[in-house]
Amino acid sequence: MEMNSLAQERKSAQFDVEAMKVVWEGSPEQVQLTQRIGQLVASDPVFRKDNRVSQGRLELFKNTLWKAAHAWSIIQSMHLTEAEALKLRSFIDEPAYTDLHWGMFIPAIKGQGTDEQQQKWLPLAFKQTIIGCYAQTELGHGSNVQGLETTATFDPSTDEFIVNTPTLTATKWWPGGLGKVSTHAIVYARLITDGKDYGVHAFIVQIRSLEDHHPLPGVIVADIGVKFGNGGYNTMDNGLLRFDSVRIPRDNLLMRVASVTRDGKYVPSGVPRQLGYGAMVFVRKSIVMDASTYLSRAVTIAVRYSAVRRQFGTEQGKPETQVIDYMTQQSRLFPLLATAYAYRFLGVWMSWLYSDVTSRLERGDFSTLPEVHACTSGLKSITTSTTADGIEECRKLCGGHGYLCASGLPELYAAYVPACTYEGDNVILLLQVARFLMKTLSLLGSGKKPSGTAAYLGNAADLLAKNCPVTKERDWINLDTLQHAFEARSARLSVKCATQIAAASNQEAGFSEFSSELVDASRAHCELIVVTRFMEALKKEIPGRGVREQLQILCNIYALSLVTARAGDFLVTGYLSSEQLDLAKGQLRSLFRELRPNAVALVDSFNHSDYYLGSTLGRFDGNVYENLYNDALKDPMNASPVTEGYEEYIRPVLKRQLKLANSRL
């Protein structure tokens, strides 16, 4: 019956699934690339992953090394393009040192190295004759980069920097790929020359021998230990690193922004430090795209299983009700489905933003950087937090079976949740957004008009004056009405914070006192950006039968689910009445009913293979129960009908032959 359930669901779809796949992937070519590389990975026994959660840490890590080496062999032998290689590594679906080598080490050299340094280091990195990581975070400092304690002191007598770890808290801690694999690291340290501290700079430091892989003299490097969850991020060798007078050549300082001369003089290059923002936007764009991918995987599992699972029934003799037909299930699940699509369109826009920022920086135009820094900080924060919470919600939506590792959800959560912390703590990032919003409001009196994602604040007076015009449920699916609601919410929360800070004894005291309110204002600003980007995407040509209509429903669900979830914001600012909120809830229920026949087809449009999902509950064919049963019997615990330990520990208890402990009470 469960297999027939998904087949019937697919027959009820009111849109062209293949056309929606193109929307999700971005082009027909990307759809073909996904299918081709996905099949390549799924058909290769080396990339097996169904046994990951039962492996011990050492076996798990060695298996990851095997997969990474095998992937590199395939990339070279098949002459894969950069895009194909990236897709291959993503489909292997296992955090590994290669993520940091290709995703952080190489971009850091590109962004911060001179042309000469890039010519020296990049060919080695591209060939993987050296393997690198990104050593910034320390045991005592993460978000506060300027507080890092590692030092690099220039010695003019030898033309070298001497790298030291002066305190326990200066120990580099967490860099992926560092613990056991990397031969080199981008090390962030305080540059000291001629007795003066010039702040934190990036250095390339070799940490292991290229002959036998042993740590070099003066280097202490190790893995930091087991992390959260089975499998998950335990395939990654997050490491610790300490230096004791480790000497490196002067030109190992990445010198695009500043250099040190042979006699120890610190010389800014004239290249603005803001050029590094391009790399930051690239990383955060990738994080947002990853959020849409991870959330879509969890939602696919939960939607398919909710359509297969039946509980209770309204009429005797008829099949029990599909769980997905319960409003309590839809109200938790469908907003997450809509969010996955919203984040995909957001990621596409951030790709455009990265191109725009890069071209501006090359022309020496830094005008948009404050706004870009703020919006990318906030979007990284809200997308990763929502996705992590969404994966866990999907696990709960799958009931007890969701707790099984066979569901794929526990490991998916464990692998994803670090995103809430790396590349910036999510609360700290929202406070950075808040500073931008407060500064933007402070400049309104001078006649300076906000631009980009903050342009609506230039209309603050109108947004403060006009309340919600909704009088009936259908009014809520008017895009202008939704846009105005989110702009008014954000503007009113920001203005309120600005007023509270202005009344404080000083600005910093006020910022600290009202930091929770500032976080709420920042979240409102960022959610406005997501809603706006979804709406803007719908204004473009979207081919395919019924595709635009389904995306419109999803956009409305995303926006209205936020209106109801953040009802306190809309009510406390006086923008909404309780009656209008009830109308929003009623319209949301209607949208759920419209979406319901298309739910399974919409997750099919994510184009995730069974291999990539790694979930018995989320199988494409819906054959859940038979496979759950068979998987259980194959578990290593069931290799023998009588467990190890029976003779030593169970039999003595049953036969009353247990030796009593000689204890003193």
Token duo for residue 100: 């940091």
What is the C-alpha to C-alpha distance for residues 229 and 223, in angstroms, rounded to an integer? 17
State the catalytic residue, choosing from 25, 94, 138, 423: 423
Q: Is 423 a catalytic residue?
A: yes
Residue type, 210: L
Q: Annotated binding residue at 140?
A: no
Per DSSP, 294 falls in state H
What is the C-alpha to C-alpha distance for residues 65 and 97, in angstroms, rounded to an integer? 9
Decide: 122 and 108 in contact? Cβ < 8 Å: no
Task: Give the containing element (helix H, strand E) for 125.
Answer: helix 115-126
HSE-CB at 505 with a 13 A cutoff on CA atoms is 3
Label residue 224 exposed, middle or buried (CB < 10 Å: 0-12, 13-18, 19+).
middle
What is the C-alpha to C-alpha distance for residues 511 and 32, in angstroms, rounded to an integer? 50
What is the C-alpha to C-alpha distance for residues 85 and 40, in angstroms, rounded to an integer? 12
Decide: 622 and 37 in contact? Cβ < 8 Å: no
Q: Which of 276, 251, 269, 271 is nearest to 107 (CA)?
A: 276
Decide: 412 and 297 in contact? Cβ < 8 Å: yes
Task: Give the containing element (helix H, strand E) for 151.
Answer: strand 151-155
Q: Annotated binding residue at 64?
A: no
What is the C-alpha to C-alpha distance for residues 211 and 207, in angstroms, rounded to an integer? 12
Q: Which of 472, 464, 306 is nearest to 398 (CA)?
A: 306
Label residue 639 exposed, middle or buried (CB < 10 Å: 0-12, 13-18, 19+).
exposed
Alpha carbon 465 to its chain centroid, in Å, reads 37
Give the other-Cβ count within 10 Å of 31's Cβ. Answer: 17
What is the C-alpha to C-alpha distance for residues 201 and 439, in angstroms, rounded to an integer? 28
Beta bridge partners of 283: none
What is the C-alpha to C-alpha distance for residues 460 and 487, in angstroms, rounded to an integer? 9
> What's the start-to-end Cα distance of the chain, in Å?
59
Q: Which of 309, 336, 339 is nearest to 324 (CA)?
A: 309
**Catalytic residue annotation:** 423
Binding-site residues for FAD sit at 137, 176
Residues making up the annotated binding site are 137, 176
